[in-house]
Amino acid sequence: MLETVTLMKNAEAREALPEPARKGDAEKRGRKASKEVRRLQLIEATIDSLAKRGYAETTMADVADGAGLSRGIVNFHFESKEKLLVATLQHMYDEYSAHWRTALQKAGDDPARQLQALVWADFDRSICNKRKLAAWCAFWGEAKSRPTYQALSSSRDAYYQQVFIDLCATLKQSGGYAYEPQVMALALSAMLEGLWLRLMMGTQDTTRETALQAANAFLAAAFPKHYGLATAGQ
C-alpha cells in the first residue's frame, strides 16, 4: 500500500512540473533509444527528403526535422551529409537484396519459377513505391560523379546480375533457345529498370499493375516454352 501511495505521489509530482521540465525528461528518455533505432529514423527521414526535395536540396537540417530529432543527433551519428547519404544508399541496397533473396528462396528449385519470382519481387509494394523509387533515382543521378556510390552499386549489381545470367543459361539449355544468356539477362535488367523509371516519372499509362503485366509479357516473349499467355496476363 505504501509503495502504491509513493508511486501516485511521484506521478502527481511529475504532472505538477512545468512544461519545460516535462519536455526535458522526454528528451532524456529519447536519448536513451538505441543507436540502431536512431540511425534508422535518420535514414528513413533521408529517404523522405530525397523523394521530396531531391539530392542537391536535401540537408542535414531537413533530415533532422523530418526525423523529429535535433541536428546535433544527426551530426553525432553521421558527422556529414555524405556519410548520411552513403549509409542511406547502403540501407536501401541491403533492403532490396534481402527482398529479392527471400523471393528467390521461396520460389523453390525450379529456375523458371525463380526468374519469375525475381521479376515479380521488383513490383512488390514494399519495394516499388514512389517514395523509394524517387530516392533510388536521386542516387542514380549522382552515381557517375561519386566513386563511393559506383563502388557500392557495382559490387551489389554484379552479383544480382550474375543470378539473372545463370537462370537465363539454365532456361536456354532446357528450352533450346538461341539467345546468349548474358545478353538476355542484360535485356531483362534494362526492362525492369526502365519500368521503374517510368513509374518514378509518373507516366500516365504506367502503374505497378501495368508494369508487372509488361514484365510478364517480356517473360512470355523471351521464354515461350516456360511462360505462356496466362503469365503475361497476370
Tens of pLDDT, residues 15-68: 454 555 444 554 555 555 588 898 999 999 999 999 999 988 999 999 999 999
Mean pLDDT, to the nearest integer, of 98-115? 96
The model carries a pTM of 0.78
Neighbours of 187 (CB within 10 A): 15
Local confidence band at 9 (pLDDT 50, 70, 90 cut-offs): very low
Query: What is the identity of the amino acid at 140?
Result: W
72-86, 142-156, 162-176, 211-225: range with lowest mean pLDDT: 142-156
| pLDDT over threshold 70, residue 101 | yes
Q: Count helices and strands (H / E) in the chain.
A: 12, 0
pLDDT in tens, 133-173: 999 988 877 766 677 766 666 666 888 999 999 999 999 99
| pLDDT given at position 99 | 96
Q: Which of these, 153, 141, 99, 105, lies nearest to 122 by C-alpha position? A: 99
Domains by residue range for the chain, with CATH: 14-79 (1.10.10.60), 83-233 (1.10.357.10)
Q: Is residue 2 exposed (0-12), middle (13-18) or buried (19+ Cβ within 10 Å)?
A: exposed
Q: Distance (Å, rounded) from C-alpha 166 to C-alpha 170?
A: 6
Q: Where is pLDDT greater, at 82 or 230?
A: 82
Round to whole Å and give the CA distance between 215 and 223: 12
CA distance readout (Å), 140 to 126, 197, 206, 214, 229: 20, 11, 21, 23, 34
Q: Does the pLDDT at position 210 exceed 90? A: yes
Determine contact, residues 157/164, Cβ cutoff 8 Å: no
Phi-psi sector, 39: left (phi>0), alpha (psi -120 to 50), beta: alpha
Question: Would you state the pLDDT for residue 15?
Answer: 46
- What is the number of other CB atoms lying within 10 angstroms of the CB of residue 137? 17
User: Percentage of residues in the chain with pLDDT exceeding 90?
Assistant: 61
Looking up cell 514484365 gives 215
> Which one, of 49, 52, 54, lies nearest residue 65 by Cα?
49
Summary mean pLDDT of the chain:
84
